[in-house]
Amino acid sequence: MRDRLADTVVLRGAFVQEKQLQGFRNPLRSTGEFVLARGHGMVWDTRTPFASRVVMSARGLRVIESDGSVRVIAGDAGASVASTANALMMALLTGDTAALSAQFAIEETLLADGGWTLGLVPRPGVMSTLYRRIDVQGDRFVRRVALEDINGDRTDIRFVELRDAPAELSAEEAKRFD
Amino acid sequence: MIDLSGNATRLRRRWRWAAAAWLTLVLALGAHQISFWSTPRLDGDILALLPGEPGDPLLALANQRIADSATRQVVVVLRGANWDESLAAAHAFTASLDAQQARLRPVASEQGAAAALAFYRPFRDRLLTPAQRTQLQNANPEVLAEHALAALFGPSIAGAISAWQADPLTLWPAWWQQRLGRNLGQRDGMTIAMDSDGPWIVLPFVVDAAAFRLSSEAYLQSVLDRASASARTLAPTLSVLRAGVPLHAEAAAVRANWEVNTIGLGSLLAIVLLMWMVFRSVRPLALVSLSLAIGWAAGVSATALAFGNVHLLTLVFGASLLGVAEDYGIHYFASRQARDAMGSHALMRHLLPGLLLAWSTSAVAYLALGIAPFPGLRQMAVFSGAGLAAAFLTAVCWFPWLDRGLPPMNRFGRAIAGSLATWPRLRLQHRSTWWAIAALSVFTVLGLLRLEVRDDLRSLQSSPATLVTQQRQIDALLALPSPAQFYLVRGNSAEQVLQREERLAARLDALVADATLSGYRATSGWVPSRSRQHADAQLTARLEMLALRRASTAVGESVARPAFATTDLRVEDWLQQPLSMPFRPAWLGQTGDVWASVVMLDGIDARTDLALLQRQAAAVPGVRWVDRTADISQLLGHYRKMMGSLLLAGFALVALMLALRYRSLAWRAVLPTAVASLLTLAALAWLGEPLQLFTVLALMLLLGMGIDFGIFLLEHRGDGASWLAVSLGAASTLLAFGLLALSATPALHTFGLTLLLGISLVWLLSPLLRPLPVAVADRPAGASVPIESIHRD
């Protein structure tokens, strides 16, 4: 599977996210764009139905609202949430099985069409307090991530229009991390 | 005068009773010693030496609670080259402690967190940080609702502590973060603390309750050292810091153990050596040692009975008592050597008035230590008083029975005894005398001008520098609250106390905002006042209902707000939670009609503007600013001045009494001690030692002991055999206090050094001022032999 996956430094694309939350009958569907850069972190731009930007970086986890106001979910020291979420999303989107296998038991399936799937079950530890399981599906890129939280919430993210060139952040993309 | 033959039998009978009675007491003492040392109640806490708050029982309670809460906590923080290394090192560290079966239990945090969340969840709607309250009051509700919806539809955040509909404005995480402390967090199941170089892993431990022992082994230190070494095999560049009262207490115990042994054994060796050189007989050695052992044991027992426990510093100070308590025995044997013909009982009866006077003057000097209301000094006073009494009684009651005579005085003894005759006298007609006086005056005046007064709490502290440095680093990193500076908040109900805390907190928030203060801890942070709970619950309900309505529209279904508690969050329920454990000491609860609490301050250091903090208290009714460090320094200063006046009064009184007996010769007895006191002060100043309460107390002891030199030289002019006894006593006293000067505790060091200098000077000066020998006819009848000369040195 590592052979099939492109070794990306910067990955950008669009997403369609569907959340199924406890207490909600209907799924919550949102769309937007993201940029992921190794060494920097990730910017998650939700465009519809409500705009917001989530920046995960070494500086923590920040939400930038549509009106420009910034809310720090986890600052430097609240490192927990930020670094856990950040590291996990980075590992999932880059298919970093080496990093994931420290915290998850991984079941890998290679498909005939060049695709693959990973089934991740948390090992005892921090991840087991957050997730029941995580499924990843991809080919050259990761195409889909499905997370099932410990409280029963599900998040299903499909990625489209993925591009790993150029391998550096454009000036505009880099600005989003600020 | 010495008419004994007729009464000898009666005298022996009476003595037998006294010896038997004392034996009974000594046996009781032995029994108490066995029970005491099998579970020794020793105290190494420096705060135990400080005075309580007689005027304010609530403040005393607050101090007690704060001191108790810290007695078993140890914190270790560590950091490797990177996070993975730190994590591996932390696991290796705890694994090593496990493998060593160390008496250190890690403080579990994970289940605790779940229980804490469950306890607070029904009250989430009324828990706001001050910043959130302001924000919610001023923000546009529609904007807040839109942000809430953005969060709902945005990426899921792993480990969210509540469902969206239970906290649509994401208020709760920031409230918890504020409770935990700004730079504290959780990562990979570890508590972390951030500084500019990254995260430290914080490992809190509780030391299993174990009796505090006087031990030469630093148990915790060696266990933690081994764990650090084991962690370093995985992270070679690992930094490990540790802090906690038990570590300081252990270091103090090890140090005190060393000091007790050094001073005790050193004094004992000196006494043994001197006595051997003079008496050349085992029995006096054994008997004097016996009186010292009984004296020391009596000191321990009396202190334990009077105070419930014995402080380590008392034991250290008590060890120096050996050098004083040996005098009774030595005096007895010195006179015995000179007056072998007189029976032992008759001799002791004859010596009794002199010994009693000697004992009572030194006992009074020692007991004067207890005038200042410092429990530590009072322990030392009781210890010394009881120890001297027991050594004295042992000598008086038993020595006549156990003594079997002595060989005659040898050459060494004769040499010392003869030295008095050749000792120079001060001759005012000599020019060199005036030069010497002028030089000493310059030395004294310049020294006294340099003398620096320091009434500092630190004079009682002796923790090793590395431990103090690490404690300071951890205090800063974890923003640990200061045990010495805090606010005491009073009210007529729990609600009023919480409201007053909140008013104070509002003022402190402003100081935190401009970085004058790094933080504070108030019970109202965990349990807001009822009125605030109601107001905040109303505020969040209004805004969150709007967000939920907007969400219902967006999702196309009715999204309900979960029900929150209909009752208030109460302090008494919070106190039942494991979560509140570290914070419970701050809630003093109800005492009579008064409710009270303590607001603790984080990260107080030398740069903190204490006056500004003090002013905050004045602005809120029922709030009192407490600065223990300043209070104690003030108290030390007050008693330094008071004891200083008493010292002068003591000199005046002694001068008056001596003038009545010796008339125009009295100055010869008073002047040596007075001059020695001044010279000692000057010498201390030249050595860079500050003037403090303990210096004055030491001078008080000097007056009690030193004046006897002068008295003796007036009373028994030219009497060499008594000079021998006094010189022997002085030599061992000097050595004991000289060894005490080695103590790592500044207060004891001061005692030792002051008395070492002072007694040496008195010993040198007194014979200089002695009068010329007078004709036998001038002496009191019958006192032509050394018997009369048995006085305390």
Q: Residue A132's closest CA among A93, A105, A157?
A: A105
- Chain A residues whose CB is inside 8 A of the B164 CB are 21, 23
Contacting residues for A122 by C-beta, under 8 A, at least 6 apart: A103, A104, A105, A128, A130, A131, A132, A133
How many whole angstroms separate alpha carbon A134 and alpha carbon A97? Answer: 13
Residue numbers of chain B with a pLDDT score lower than 70: 1-7, 44-49, 52-55, 108-112, 158-159, 182, 209-216, 340, 458-461, 712, 715-718, 721, 773-793
As a whole number of angstroms, the distance between CA B99 and CA B79 comes to 22
Question: pLDDT tens across B650-685, in order?
Answer: 888 888 888 887 788 888 888 889 999 999 999 999
Spell out which residues of chain A touch residue B188, defining contact as CB-CB under 8 Å: 84, 125-126
Q: Taking the C-alpha atoms of B136, B142, B147 and B149 in order, what is their torsion angle to the nearest 10 degrees?
A: 130
Contact B157 A153 (CB under 8 A): no
Q: What angle do CA B105, B108, B112 make, to 5 degrees?
A: 150
| Minimal-distance CA residue of chain B relative to A152 | B163
Residue of B203, B165, B175 lying closest to B117 (CA atoms) = B175
Residue A82: its pLDDT value, please?
A: 54
Distance CA(B586)–CA(B597), nearest Å, equals: 6
The alpha-carbon gap from B606 to the nearest alpha carbon of chain A, in Å, equals 26
The answer on pLDDT for A87 being more than 70 is yes
For the CA atoms of B719, B725, B731, B735, the dihedral, rounded to the nearest 10 degrees, stands at -160
Counting beta carbons within 10 angstroms of the beta carbon of residue B787, is it exposed (0 to 12), middle (13 to 18) or buried (19 or more)? buried
Contact residues, chain A, for B177 at CB < 8 Å:
78
Q: CA B670, B672, B675: angle at the middle one, nearest 5?
A: 105
**A44 contacts on B by Cβ (under 8 Å):** 154-155
pLDDT at position B304 is: 93
Enumerate the residues of chain B whose CB falls inside 8 A of the CB of residue A84.
158-159, 187-188
B34: contact with A, CB 8 A cutoff: no
Q: Does B197 touch chain A (CB under 8 A)?
A: no
Of B146, B173, B560, the CB nearest to A50: B146
CA angle B757, B763, B767 (to 5 degrees): 145
What is the separation of C-alpha B652 from the centre of its chain, rounded to a whole number of angstroms?
Answer: 33
- Closest alpha carbon to B170 in A30, A151, A48, A63: A63
Contact A37, A93 (CB under 8 A): no
Which secondary structure element, helix H or strand E, spans residue A117, and what is its range? Answer: strand A116-122
Residues B525 and B128: their CA atoms lie apart, in Å, by 9
Residue B146 CB contacts under 8 Å (≥ 6 apart), including other chains? A50, A65, A66, B550
CB pairs < 8 Å spanning A and B = 118
CA distance, residue B109 to nearest chain A CA (Å): 13
DSSP H/E element including B195 = strand B190-195
Which region holds residue B731: left if phi is over 0, alpha if psi is between -120 and 50, else beta? alpha
Residue A126 is nearest to which of B189, B192, B194, comparing CB atoms?
A: B189
Chain A contact for B554 (CB, 8 A cutoff): yes
Would you place residue A85 in the very low, low, confident or very high pLDDT band (cuts 50, 70, 90)?
low
Indicate yes or no: CB of A24 within 8 angstroms of CB of B557.
yes
Residue corresponding to tokens 């006085």? B791
Token pair listed for A55: 């920046």
In the structure encoding, which two tokens stand for residue B454, read together? 């320091």
Which residues 268-287 of chain B have a CB within 8 Å of chain A? none
* ipTM of the complex model: 0.91
d(CA B477, CA B241): 11
Q: In chain A, which residues have their Cβ closer than 8 Å to the Cβ of B149?
A: 49-50
| Distance between B697 CA and the closest CA of chain A, angstroms | 51
Please state, as a whole number, how many other Cβ atoms lie within 10 Å of the Cβ of residue B421: 11
Which neighbouring-strand residues pair with A121? A105
Residue with tokens 């038991």: A105
Cα distance between residue B781 and residue B347, in whole Å: 17
Amino acid at B332: Y
The residue among B198, B182, B193 whose CA lies nearest residue B243 is B193
pLDDT of residue B679: 95
The SS3 call for residue B403 is: coil
B-chain residues near A126 (CB < 8 A):
188-189
| Adjacent-strand bridge partners of A14 | A33, A160
| Tokens 């029970």, residue located | B35
Q: How far apart are CA B386 and CA B359, in angstroms?
A: 11
Report whether B332 contacts B743 (CB < 8 A). no
- Confirm or reject contact between B184 and chain A (CB < 8 A): yes
User: Which residue type sits at B312?
Assistant: L
Contact indicator for B214, B311 with CB cutoff of 8 Å: no
Rounded to whole angstroms, the Cα distance separating B288 from B296 reads 12
Q: In this structure, are residues B123 and B565 in contact, taking their beta carbons and an 8 Å threshold? A: yes
To the nearest whole angstrom, how far is the Cα of B44 from the nearest Cα of chain A? Answer: 36
Judge: A24–B555 Cβ closer than 8 Å, yes or no: yes
Q: What pLDDT score was predicted for residue B684?
A: 93
CA dist B626 to A30, A112, B98, B169, B486, Å?
A: 56, 76, 41, 39, 5
Beta bridge partners of A62: A55, A72
List the Cα angle B687/B380/B373 in 5-degree steps: 90
Asked if the Cβ–Cβ distance from A28 to B152 is below 8 Å, we say: yes
CA distance B711 to B706: 9
| Chain B residues inside the 8 Å CB shell of A23 | 163-165, 559-560
- What does the pLDDT average to over A70-92? 66
Between CA A32 and CA B223 the distance in angstroms is 55
Q: Does the beta-carbon distance from A84 to B158 stay under 8 Å?
A: yes
pLDDT tens-digit series, residues A7-23:
788 999 999 999 999 88
> What is the rounded CA–CA span in Å between residue B413 and residue B324?
20
* Distance from chain centroid for Cα B508: 31
| Residue B571 · residue B587 · CB < 8 Å | yes
Give the mutation candidate from B187, B518, B558 for the A interface (greatest A CB count, under 10 A): B187
Q: Do A126 and B188 touch (CB under 8 A)?
A: yes
Mutate to test the interface with B, among A34, A126, A131, A133 (most CBs of B within 10 A): A126
Q: Detail the DSSP E strand segments found in B128-187.
A: 184-187
Quick one: pLDDT at residue B583? 84
Contact list in B for residue A76 (CB cut-off 8 A) is 183, 194
Question: Any idea which residue has 């009373």 for tokens?
Answer: B715
Question: Which of B175, B518, B555 is the mutation pick for testing A, counting most A CBs within 10 A?
Answer: B555
B interface test, pick of A43, A67, A69, A73 with most B CB neighbours within 10 Å: A73
Residue A156: Cβ-neighbour burial (10 angstroms; 0-12, 13-18, 19+)? middle
Picking from B226, B201, B233, the residue whose alpha carbon sits closest to that of residue B87 is: B201
Instruction: Identify which of B170, B188, B557 has the shortest CB distance to residue A25.
Output: B557
Residue B158 · residue A81 · CB < 8 Å: yes
- HSE-CB at B177 with a 13 A cutoff on CA atoms is 22
> CB-CB: which of B153, B163, B182 is closest to A22?
B163
Cβ distance A46 to B150 less than 8 Å, yes or no, reads yes
How far apart (Å, rounded) are the C-alpha atoms in residues B376 and B651?
26
Residues of chain A found within 8 Å of residue B152, distances taken between Cβ atoms: 28, 50
Give the C-alpha separation, A83 to A76, whole Å: 10
